[in-house]
Chain A
């Protein structure tokens, strides 16, 4: 019962961070700031959802599987954010609405 409630709370919190990340993606002014919103908020959101689901796991390997999924998503988020940012630096269209360049 308490475990179920904790699961509900954690997954709801995770969804909240996904919504916040999406809001940032839509509201932030330039490509680079939008990447901040996507990587960081979604990473935390997925962590909360994974934690909530882990409480319902029937086998200890299921918990580790969720950890593995989260770690892979982190790795992908960190790598892809860098790649998109690097590509955006070279892409003139991304310069709209953004301040000084390095």
Chain B
């Protein structure tokens, strides 16, 4: 077994075990069937989604506060616009070069969609992520570069992502 597989098995076992404990309210009588279910679930997850890119979980945890702060600012910004008389929308598009594996690009797109003022709309044929911006003058796109690099580091890739040009 290589290091990547061991790491994936450990991560997924921990995740499934926590979910089982949460769903059964950590009932001692559920521990034995839980152990069997976790083993089957991890095996199945490795069949469906093979361990390709190991994740640096501590980096993911370190990234959480910024993600939460971004979600809050994003929600506040959109709520303010939705309820104000002049919504101040100046929609536009930008592209984001993200040299991530396909799964990573979807994850980046999901994260970008929850950050203030940006929304991913799939990627173009050249692999660039297409991003809709709610207000092209509010500087929402400035943080995209950093998000892409943070995700690349969580996926333990060399960060080469680069924010694309304004369109």
CB-nearest residue of chain B relative to A48? B75
Q: For the complex, give the distance between the alpha carbons of A39 and B106 in Å.
A: 16
Whole-angstrom distance from the CB of B106 to the nearest CB of chain A? Answer: 7
Question: Is there contact, CB below 8 Å, between A74 and B78?
Answer: no
Question: Is there contact, CB below 8 Å, between B81 and A24?
Answer: yes
**Residue in A24, A29, A47 whose beta carbon sits within 8 Å of that of B78 in the complex:** A24
- The interface bits of chain A over 70-102 (1 if a CB of B lies within 8 angstroms of the residue's CB, else 0) are 000011011101100110110000000011111
**Residue in B19, B71, B132 whose beta carbon sits within 8 Å of that of A40 in the complex:** B71
Question: Is there contact, CB below 8 Å, between A32 and B121?
Answer: yes
Question: Is there contact, CB below 8 Å, between B82 and A102?
Answer: no
Question: Is there contact, CB below 8 Å, between B22 and A89?
Answer: no
Interface hub of A24, A40, A43 (most chain B Cβ within 10 A): A40
Whether A21 sits at the interface, judged by CB under 8 Å, is yes
Contact A41:B89 (CB < 8 A) given known A20-B82, A23-B82, A61-B25:
no
Question: Is there contact, CB below 8 Å, between A74 and B114?
Answer: yes
- The interface bits of chain A over 14-46 (1 if a CB of B lies within 8 angstroms of the residue's CB, else 0) are 001100110110011110110111011101110
Set of chain B residues within 8 Å of A35, measured between Cβ atoms: 113, 119, 132
CB-nearest residue of chain A relative to B93? A102
Contact A85:B132 (CB < 8 A) given known A36-B119, A78-B110:
yes
Set of chain A residues within 8 Å of B83, measured between Cβ atoms: 20, 23
Interface hub of A44, A45, A101 (most chain B Cβ within 10 A): A44
- How many chain A residues touch B (CB < 8 A): the figure is 44
CB-nearest residue of chain B relative to A86? B122
- The interface bits of chain B over 120-143 (1 if a CB of A lies within 8 angstroms of the residue's CB, else 0) are 111000000010101000000000
Whether B61 sits at the interface, judged by CB under 8 Å, is no
Set of chain B residues within 8 Å of A99, measured between Cβ atoms: 91-92
Whole-angstrom distance from the CB of B11 to the nearest CB of chain A? Answer: 15
Contact A32:B95 (CB < 8 A) given known A23-B82, A41-B82, A44-B76:
no
**Residue in A21, A28, A61, A81 whose beta carbon sits within 8 Å of that of B79 in the complex:** A21
Residues of chain B whose beta carbon lies under 8 Å from any beta carbon of chain A:
18-19, 21-26, 71-72, 74-79, 81-83, 87, 89, 91-93, 95, 106, 109-111, 113-114, 116-117, 119-122, 130, 132, 134, 167
> What are 5 contact pairs spanning A and B, CB under 8 A?
A17-B75, A33-B134, A37-B82, A77-B114, A79-B106
